[in-house]
Amino acid sequence: MFRRPTANPLDRSTALGGYGPVPEGGAPATAYVTHDRDYLYLAVTFDRKSPFHAIDLVGFEFDNDNDGIREDGDDIVFTTPGIPQNTEWPGADFYRYNGGAYNASDAAVGGTTDVISAWGTVGTTGVFEMRHDLNSSDDAHDFSIDLSGGPVTLGMQIGVQLEADPVGSGITVDTYKPTFATYCQLTLGKKTTAVTCP
């Protein structure tokens, strides 16, 4: 997929297994999270059972201060097969505003786009991958993680939206881990990555 600064950052990842369903009757999905000094790497794999649809979507929402409440500035990144691969695409880096009730593109309000993504398939197993800066200059719209003072914990929610066949049906199944209203805890240390979910 996209160029990474380490040979295989998923070697240190934490897998979150088995959530679904997908429109074709249910299949497990696995999320992978890891990081290096500069970037957070996110991936989700699942059996799509058909080619990707343009509106299939994988997203990660972060609770920047890990208090379980959606708030202004909380970070959101996502990708779809409709976004060009390996580019910083303005529609892939979002933030929360208006008391956390709404979200908008960072770039739409003068912020920066700090995520790139890629996707592909092997047989019917699909993978979506994203890379996001740990500490971008866009402090109003992105988390700013500095690991020099010790481990940092964020809330993290994973969302998957898949369109039912045929392409263009407009019927989607949305799944969240742990739920739409709750977060897993993502703890990053200098050389460690840990995820716990309720």
Digitized pLDDT (tens) for each residue of the chain, 198 residues in all: 333 333 233 333 444 443 333 334 445 678 889 999 999 999 988 877 777 888 888 999 999 999 999 999 999 999 998 888 888 887 799 999 999 999 999 999 999 999 999 988 877 788 899 999 999 989 899 999 999 999 999 999 998 888 888 888 888 888 888 888 999 999 999 999 999 988
34 is in which domain, residue-wise? 9-196
- Decide if 126 is inside a domain: yes
Is 1 domain-assigned? no
Q: Which two tokens stand for residue 51?
A: 């080619």
Considering the domain boundaries, does residue 173 fall inside one? Answer: yes
Q: How far is CA 30 from CA 17, 67, 115, 188, in A?
A: 4, 25, 20, 19
Confidence (pLDDT) at 164: 82
Q: What pLDDT score was predicted for residue 52? A: 84
CA-closest candidate to residue 95, choices 82, 76, 79, 81: 76
Q: What is the pLDDT of residue 30?
A: 83
Which pTM value belongs to this model? 0.86
Domain of 150, CATH number, reads: 2.60.40
The pLDDT score that the predictor gives to residue 79 is 92
Q: Is the dihedral of CA 43, 49, 53, 59 positive or negative?
A: negative
Please answer whether residues 133 and 39 qualify as being in contact, where contact means their C-beta atoms are separated by less than 8 angstroms. yes
Is residue 157 in some structural domain?
A: yes
Query: Are residues 59 and 68 in contact, defined by beta-carbon separation less than 8 angstroms?
Result: no
Residue 55 located in a structural domain: yes
Count the domains in the chain. Answer: 1
Q: What is the pLDDT of residue 156?
A: 96
